[in-house]
Structure 1
Amino acid sequence: MLRPVRVQLDTIERPVIVEFMSKEHVSRMQSFDCGVDGDEQTEFAQKEAWDTHRRCLSTVFIVHDKEENIISYFTLSPFIVSLKIKDDMSDDKKRLVEELRAKLEELLGMDIKYTSVPTILLGQFGLQKEYRGKGVGGEILSKIILPYAVFYAATIGGVGLSLHAKKKVAKKFYLKKSPLAEGFQVISRGGTYELFYPFVDEVQKFRIELIKRSRTTK
């Protein structure tokens, strides 16, 4: 998915283009502004995104319209989620980890003997301020971020999408009852929530397709 991909967003009633970040995006990212409570995402876009991307610390994707106005950006990178129960864990944390292990074993149809599982990390997700509160973020998550995460997980290994969000953001966006942003499971909570979205079925289907394609190229 290094080539530009066109995706229709119903919330803004027009298509957007998703691109692998390049140097041409740097100057346009300087005017990116997430607005209230988005200081971290704004600063990352303006000061850190390009260096992080070109040094392979994460992969940055840009979402823009046909006039090349940046609507959103997000980062993906390999990650692991620990399934190990530690003595010093709170009872709540132990219960959440046990629930996650049980959920994954059910989805995978096998016992998990590992102390961690591979995932794809959504490290940063920024939305230009004028698009916030309109359902655009949820649609980008479901139509762009999750499919991209599934693609990379099928390529390098991974069973879900991981992210860390402030408590307020986690409850307002990722944990609300919305068809565009549901399915996230809490792994740990506090000032920052660790969340996990399993996509076992989707990634296994994609992996099977990749295996079939590899056979036809021999």
Structure 2
Amino acid sequence: MSKNIQPYDTISTPLGNCYIYTIHSYFINKLASFDCGEKEQNDFIKRFAVGHYLAGINHTFLLICNNDLAGFISFSSYSYAFAEGFLDKIKKAIKEEFNKRGLPHEFDVSFKKLPVILLGQLGIDKRYQGKGLGRSLIREFVIPYSLNYCAENSCIGILVYTRSAKDFYRKLGFQLIYEDKNGGANYFYSLYKNVLEIRYKTFSSKP
């Protein structure tokens, strides 16, 4: 690995420490040989990830283990129209957090679409599947990164659409919020209470 390319983060995995890098020209050859067994994810990392990153459409991170491209993850900003019942639960939970702190300011949302961070693509190379890397990537990087992003840029959680990894996300604490007729489903990982806690500490800190 070039000493000039610094990792964005280091995560602990069942294989030991692996490294998170922002997508970079240094890794182009590794992108071309990536294969997770899913056409959509393979096409994305080989054909679209660089262009979408450079254009500001999303942010792709690479998971490097043993100097191999073991996986990748991409994020983008998104606005999602929550179903009325689920939206009401979010509003109620946030109001309860306001009341706990005795905040005098009001909270109300009169629109369905709320800002989220969209987990657009995630792939683990076939050579590294079944080793717990996907779980480590979500727990050690995706959730902490998304919380920091939401606290700084304003969003309430992580949204992901999947057809083949429903159990994977469910076991990691994502809630099913929508299923379509094609077998796909939207899952949501709530971060709004965590965001409120972070912002409240900053808001109420002594000058």
What TM bracket, shorter-length normalisation? 0.7 to 0.9
Residue 136 in structure 1 maps to residue 148 in structure 2 = no
Residue ranges of structure 2 left out of the alignment (5+ in a row): 1-5, 96-106
- Counterpart residue number, 2:35: 33
Matches within 5 A, 1:202-217: 202-208=194-200
Query: Aligned equivalents of 2:145 and 2:7: distance in 1?
Result: 12
- Counterpart residue number, 1:169: 165
Query: Aligned equivalents of 1:59 and 1:211: distance in 2?
Result: 29
Query: Aligned equivalents of 2:51 and 2:145: distance in 1?
Result: 21
C-alpha deviation, 1:114, in angstroms: 2.0
C-alpha deviation, 1:104, in angstroms: 0.9
Offset from partner CA, 1:40-87 (integer Å, 9 cap, x none): 11111111111111111111111112x42111111111101113xxxx
Offset from partner CA, 1:70-125 (integer Å, 9 cap, x none): 11111111101113xxxxxxxxxxxxx13311321233125432221100000111
Matches within 5 A, 1:53-72: 53-65=53-65, 67-72=66-71
Residue 123 in structure 1 maps to residue 132 in structure 2 = no
Residue ranges of structure 1 left out of the alignment (5+ in a row): 84-96
CA contact (8 A) 1:160 1:200 kept: yes
SS of the counterpart of 1:78?
strand
Residue 33 of structure 1 aligns to which amino acid in structure 2? D
- Counterpart residue number, 2:9: 5
- Counterpart residue number, 1:145: 142
Query: Aligned equivalents of 1:185 and 1:204: distance in 2?
Result: 23
- TM-score w.r.t. length of structure 1: 0.78
- TM-score w.r.t. length of structure 2: 0.81
C-alpha deviation, 1:210, in angstroms: 5.9
CA contact (8 A) 1:187 1:196 kept: no
SS of the counterpart of 1:73?
strand
Q: Identity of aligned pairs, percent?
A: 20
